[in-house]
Amino acid sequence: MSQLDELKKWTTVVSDTGDFESIKAYRPQDATTNPSLVLQAAELPQYRGLVDEAIKWGLHQGKEWSEQRLHILDKLMVNFGVEILKIVPGRVSTEVDARMSYDTAATVAQARSIIAQYDADGIGRDRVLVKIASTWEGIRAAEVLEKEGIHCNLTLLFGLHQAIAAADAGVTLVSPFVGRILDWYKKDTGKDFHGADDPGVKSVTAVYNYYKKFGYKTQVMGASFRNIGEICELAGCDLLTISPQLLAELESTQAELPRKLDPDAAKTLVILKIEVDKETFDAMHLHDRMATDKLKEGIEGFSAALVKLESLLAKRLAELEVRAPAAV
């Protein structure tokens, strides 16, 4: 059996892409996207129809381009999600605007809008996860949404304080970013890390063990991998979201893959229970340079991708000659 087949014995494999052909090739249970991935896909000619449909729909949702563009972005994200759900049997994660990461009310409003559009397309809430950055404000938004039956995926998660706060808020799933953690430590220390010593692997392992030790229902989905070694060290994690390139490498590797994370083993560990209120969250975040740097960087990166995506939409709108938009 391939390592991909072995991995699927214990872990739900999620495709981390906006490309439908890649999703079809590796048969994941779920799929997740982000603004950077949607931007890459939206630039490809085969997905132009999804872009055009979002533009035409969004133009009827407001009078000014500044308002219309936000509706178009939401619709484009949902369009990709709907198409992905025609391929995967499980769920798709759709991200709210990263520029709202520190605004609880705006995040809640956009999440409701996204879910309303999925509802209009006949997609039930059980098949959609709304992705929200793991700021304190984002976690509070997710707490509100979960009580309304809108399931959330807390992304850009780098520290245990974020993970605990998210689980205490009752979120469905968290996405710790393995590779980005590794990147930070390599740059900060000048060292390389491998296997179980990888700081990204250690971080996800700590979150997984904490959740299983204390009986949280929130699931852990490791994300942002740099190599299949990281994936192998996290075999047994609830879910792993993996790029097409690494899925291909796992599928082409014929080898046994032992389980590394196990809920029963986690329950036997001695782990300190931490109560995380806003004061504790802020203090832990301040003292975690890596989490502070990577959360800020991640939000800025996704925000920049959205600006580029808006520019692409404005350009395409001009090509369609529907109307001449104001400056983006």
Query: Which DSSP symbol is given to 64?
Result: S
Contact partners, residue 217, CB within 8 Å, separation at least 6: 170
How far apart (Å, rounded) are the C-alpha atoms in residues 143 and 232? 32
Other CB atoms within 10 A of residue 42 CB = 22
How far apart (Å, rounded) are the C-alpha atoms in residues 29 and 297? 29
Q: What is the DSSP string of 250-317?
A: HHH-B--------HHHHHTS--------HHHHHHHHHT-HHHHHHHHHHHHHHHHHHHHHHHHHHHHH
How far apart (Å, rounded) are the C-alpha atoms in residues 222 and 243? 12
How far apart (Å, rounded) are the C-alpha atoms in residues 168 and 154? 12
Per the residue annotation, which of 8, 9, 131, 294 is the catalytic one?
131
What is the separation, in whole angstroms, between the first and last Cα of the chain? 51
How far apart (Å, rounded) are the C-alpha atoms in residues 300 and 154? 16
Asked about 186 being catalytic, the answer comes back as no
How far apart (Å, rounded) are the C-alpha atoms in residues 163 and 328? 35
Q: Say if residues 161 and 307 touch (Cβ distance below 8 Å).
A: no
What b-and-e string marks burial along 203-238, b requiring 16 or more CB atoms within 10 Å of the CB?
bbbebbbbbbbeebebbbbbbbbbebebbbbbbbbb
How far apart (Å, rounded) are the C-alpha atoms in residues 311 and 170? 36
Q: What is the set of active-site residues?
A: 131
